[in-house]
């Protein structure tokens, strides 16, 4: 196709841009691109298997009764309302680079330019029994399942007179020492101790029966954070009575608990696996991937050797100059920044201008450690405490697309300052 002719000749068909994925990378790419192109000349289609945008960094609050499930999702049609983006709820089955179309449910969707940001899924690293006997925290249904599991176990614990059974029901192991594992451990122990036990005190539920453990294969928690904040996270979890095990490699999981490489067995009624993720990739003909399955891109975030496909977010391996073996981490802020560059570059190609290389600028790292406490690094300065907790909440709040959603969450958070978390069993 001659791009110049296509954009200047009204008799030509519109240029078709297809964006796959409704998460941080895909949704932001579609919105940014829609604001740049002429809708009379460019047709944008967003394809996602879910009809909503999910704010994954707050799933741990849904799992621990701090937020309602609908608070962390926004309908994609609402986000895209008023733009020239068409939305299709479907799962992409295949890509034909030769004929330039994607296949969804037997239907072929043609494209001139394709953007892939399909996200990630749980990585069990081949650990025996992990997929079968653990709960994950990757989507909204996972968070609801964990919350229901905890509530159901506590209701059973309130009925039993067997002290050992009660303690087993009130035990929880979280496998994974990254940000998700740390945040989830802090929230769950507060949920159990400060909310559920308070309600069930007259039926024998007591904090002394609660056992929450965090198992990390790394030498320290949240290894991507500065040393001072790693220590702060460890100290805060210990203060909250979370049993923290580092340098602890899980080798198998059963209905009884987790077995470590040294032969130690940690028993628990609930085991949650947040030890890592892997790209939820769609096979791209001719693309090169790293050993973890992430698609290698060039400086413009195009798939190497293909000038019609861009790749970003969790499925992309973009390695900044000077760090030949270290691709950017799978973080929301990386995907959001990449989305801006991809949108600008597609527009540049359409209008015949040079593309811009992607340059990542970290805006800092933030982690919640329960109510009223957070830690983070901003502009190379480390902070922790209640003030950082407010900063963390403010930053996350403004990463939602609509003011309606921001206001809804702000109201929920405010109410939670004065009332216990929700213990409703959701069906």
CATH number at 160 reads: 3.50.50.100
pLDDT above 50: residue 4: no
Q: Which of 46-60, 255-269, 379-393 comes out lowest in average pLDDT? A: 379-393
pLDDT above 80: residue 9: no
**Residue recorded with tokens 């290894």:** 223
What is the average per-residue pLDDT within 261-274?
96
**CATH number of the CATH domain containing 297:** 3.50.50.60
Q: How confident is the model at residue 362 (pLDDT cuts 50, 70, 90)?
A: confident
Let me know if residue 400 belongs to a domain.
Answer: no
The angle at the Cα of 386, spanning 381 to 387, to the nearest 5 degrees, equals 50
pLDDT above 70: residue 421: yes
The answer to whether 133 and 255 are in contact (CB under 8 A) is yes
Give the pLDDT of residue 8. Answer: 46
Give the pLDDT of residue 294. Answer: 93
Q: How confident is the model at residue 5 (pLDDT cuts 50, 70, 90)?
A: very low
- Among 350, 385, 404, the domain-final residue is 350
What is the average per-residue pLDDT within 85-91?
95
Q: How confident is the model at residue 1 (pLDDT cuts 50, 70, 90)?
A: very low
**What mean pLDDT is reported for the chain?**
91
CA–CA dist 196, 210 (Å, integer): 11
pLDDT digits (tens, 9 = 90+) for 94-114: 999 889 999 998 799 999 999
Same domain, 143 and 270: yes
The angle at the Cα of 407, spanning 402 to 408, to the nearest 5 degrees, equals 100
- The domain tally of the chain equals 2
Q: Which residues pair with 48 in a beta bridge?
A: 89
Q: How confident is the model at residue 322 (pLDDT cuts 50, 70, 90)?
A: low
Same domain, 109 and 196: no
Let me know if residue 421 belongs to a domain.
Answer: no
Query: Closest by alpha carbon to 51, among 68, 18, 26?
Result: 26
What is the average per-residue pLDDT within 183-189?
97
Instruction: Provide long-range contacts, Cβ within 8 A and 24+ apart, for 411-418.
Output: 412/66, 412/67, 412/68, 412/71, 413/66, 413/67, 416/66, 416/371
Same domain, 284 and 270: no
Q: How confident is the model at residue 379 (pLDDT cuts 50, 70, 90)?
A: confident
Let me know if residue 7 belongs to a domain.
Answer: yes
What is the average per-residue pLDDT within 309-332?
85
Give the pLDDT of residue 16. Answer: 97
Helix 403-416 with 386-397: angle, nearest 10 deg: 150
pLDDT above 90: residue 401: no
Let me know if residue 82 belongs to a domain.
Answer: no
The token pair at 88 is: 């299709």
pLDDT above 60: residue 29: yes
Give the pLDDT of residue 325. Answer: 66
pLDDT above 70: residue 225: yes
Give the pLDDT of residue 381. Answer: 83
Domain that holds residue 36: 3-49+90-122+278-350
pLDDT above 60: residue 414: yes
Let me know if residue 395 belongs to a domain.
Answer: no
Give the pLDDT of residue 7. Answer: 41
Pairing verdict, β 15-20 and 42-48: parallel
What is the average per-residue pLDDT within 294-305?
93
pLDDT above 80: residue 321: no
Compute the radius of gyration of the chain from its Cα atoms. Answer: 23
Q: What does the chain come to in residues?
A: 427
Q: How confident is the model at residue 12 (pLDDT cuts 50, 70, 90)?
A: low
Same domain, 19 and 97: yes
- Among 241, 275, 309, the domain-final residue is 275
What is the average per-residue pLDDT within 306-320?
93
């Amino acid at each position: 196709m001659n791009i110049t002719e296509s954009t200047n000749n009204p008799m030509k068909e519109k240029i078709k841009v297809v964006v796959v994925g409704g998460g941080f990378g895909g949704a932001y790419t579609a919105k940014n691109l829609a604001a740049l192109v002429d809708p009379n000349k460019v047709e944008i289609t967003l394809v996602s298997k879910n009809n909503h945008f999910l704010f994954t960094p707050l799933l741990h609050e849904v799992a621990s009764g701090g937020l309602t499930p609908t608070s962390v999702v926004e309908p994609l049609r609402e986000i895209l309302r008023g733009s020239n983006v068409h939305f299709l709820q479907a799962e992409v089955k295949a890509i034909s680079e030769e004929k330039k179309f994607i296949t969804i449910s037997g239907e072929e969707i043609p494209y001139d330019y394709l953007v892939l940001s399909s996200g990630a899924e749980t990585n069990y690293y081949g650990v025996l029994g992990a997929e079968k006997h653990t709960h994950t925290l990757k989507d909204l249904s996972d968070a609801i399942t964990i919350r229901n599991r905890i509530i159901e176990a506590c209701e059973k614990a309130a009925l039993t007179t067997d002290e050992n059974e009660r303690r087993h029901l009130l035990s929880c192991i979280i496998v994974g020492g990254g940000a998700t594992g740390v945040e989830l451990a802090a929230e769950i122990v507060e949920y159990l101790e400060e909310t559920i036990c308070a309600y069930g005190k007259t039926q024998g539920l007591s904090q002394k029966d609660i056992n929450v453990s965090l198992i990390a294969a790394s030498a320290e928690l949240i290894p991507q954070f500065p040393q001072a904040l790693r220590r702060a996270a460890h100290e805060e979890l210990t203060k909250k009575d979370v049993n923290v095990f580092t340098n602890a490699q899980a080798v198998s999981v059963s209905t009884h608990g987790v077995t470590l490489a040294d032969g130690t067995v940690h028993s628990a009624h609930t085991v949650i696996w947040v030890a890592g993720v892997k790209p939820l990739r769609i096979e791209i003909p001719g693309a090169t991937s790293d050993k973890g399955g992430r698609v290698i891109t060039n400086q413009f975030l195009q798939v190497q050797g293909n000038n019609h496909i861009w790749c970003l977010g969790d499925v992309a391996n973009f390695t900044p100059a000077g760090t030949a073996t270290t691709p950017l981490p799978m973080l929301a802020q990386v995907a959001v920044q990449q989305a801006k560059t991809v949108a600008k570059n597609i527009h540049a190609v359409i209008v015949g201008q040079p593309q811009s290389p992607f340059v990542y600028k970290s805006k800092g790292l933030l982690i919640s450690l329960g109510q009223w406490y957070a830690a983070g690094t901003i502009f190379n300065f480390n902070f922790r405490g209640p003030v950082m907790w407010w900063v963390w909440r403010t930053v996350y709040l403004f990463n939602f697309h609509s003011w309606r959603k921001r206001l809804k969450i702000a109201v929920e958070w405010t109410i939670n300052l004065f009332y216990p978390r929700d213990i409703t069993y959701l069906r």
